[in-house]
Amino acid sequence: DQQVKQNSPSLSVQEGRISILNCDYTNSMFDYFLWYKKYPAEGPTFLISISSIKDKNEDGRFTVFLNKSAKHLSLHIVPSQPGDSAVYFCAASVGKSNFNKFYFGSGTKLNVKP
Amino acid sequence: GAVVSQHPSRVICKSGTSVKIECRSLDFQATTMFWYRQFPKKSLMLMATSNEGSKATYEQGVEKDKFLINHASLTLSTLTVTSAHPEDSSFYICSAPNQGSRNYGYTFGSGTRLTVV
């Protein structure tokens, strides 16, 4: 039973435009969310996080939005760059500890076209 | 930053043989290592959590006699897929919790693509 879902396996965006990646979760106990980025032949790397006490967190071109009532979060990349082309995973956990179990989505492959 | 080195990156083995996957933390001590597997177009699924010096904790539905995990030191955790079958073909990846209050989440290895023929 997947508790974290990314329903779009792929997304294609023109360079300079906004990329919006979506993630839904089912467990209302989740209170800490992360986005990871993965290039081919490499492990995922941390991108941005948000805890449930916030509804938005921004870091440069990356912004994560959290809608707790809808159990939905999204990652916005503005402006998108070709180097952003990668697979993006969202992950959720109960409690803000790196030693907690994280549940991952299946990933969305973003292609930013020059 | 923290680095987790995972080997091999790709392995093909015959049915019935065993395969060992190693994950090493290169510049920090990993008291805990998480082992995930991913089927095509599916989520990263947690298989087990290994802790240095103690028995691994397996997730429900994961056969501990088939997926042997050893965390013999603070820098090395291994996953051995015993008597591998084609249905064990998957992408296996390890991760260690990041250290420090401002380092969120995990540091992942680069993953191992296992193909059992």
Residues 6+ away with beta carbon under 8 Å from B103:
A46, A98, B2
Pairing of strands A72-77, A19-25: antiparallel
What sign does the dihedral B20-B26-B32-B38 (CA atoms) show? negative
Residue B101 has pLDDT above 60, yes or no: no
Pairwise CB contact (< 8 Å): B108 & A44: yes
pLDDT mean across residues, chain B: 90
Report the range of poorest mean pLDDT among A55-64, A78-87, B105-114: B105-114
DSSP code at position A16: T
What sign does the dihedral A94-B79-B33-B98 (CA atoms) show? negative
CB atoms under 10 Å from CB of B88, counted, come to 19
- Which residue of chain A comes nearest to B104, CA vs CA? A98
Residue linked to tokens 């030191």 = B73
Is residue B88 within 8 A of residue B114, CB to CB? The reply is: yes
User: Tens of pLDDT along B37-78?
Assistant: 988 778 889 999 998 888 899 999 999 999 999 998 999 999
A102 touches chain B (CB under 8 A): yes
Pairwise CB contact (< 8 Å): B108 & A43: yes
Q: What is the largest CA-CA distance in chain A?
A: 40
Percent of chain A with pLDDT over 70: 99
More confident residue, B44 or A69: A69
Compute the nearest-CA separation of A34 from chain B (Å). Answer: 7
Q: Please give the full DSSP string across chain B, using - where no structure is assigned.
A: ---EEEE-SEEEE-TT--EEEEEEESSS--SEEEEEEE-TTS-EEEEEEEETTS--EEPTT--TTTEEEEEEETTEEEEEE-S--GGG-EEEEEEEEPPSTT--SEEE---EEEEE-
- Per-residue pLDDT, B32: 92
Distance between the two ends of chain B, CA-based, in angstroms? 37
Residue linked to tokens 């938005």 = A56
**Model confidence band, residue A7 (pLDDT cutoffs 50, 70, 90):** very high
Compute the nearest-CA separation of B32 from chain A (Å). Answer: 8
Query: Measured between CB atoms, which of A44, A97, A106 is closest to B42?
Result: A106
Mean pLDDT within A24-41: 92
Amino acid at B45: M
How many interface pairs between A and B have CB atoms less than 8 angstroms apart?
60
Distance between the two ends of chain A, CA-based, in angstroms? 38
CA nearest neighbour of B87 among B63, B55, B104, B68: B63
A63/B40 Cα distance (integer angstroms)? 28
Q: Which residues of B touch A9 (CB under 8 A)?
A: 41
Residue linked to tokens 């023109």 = A14
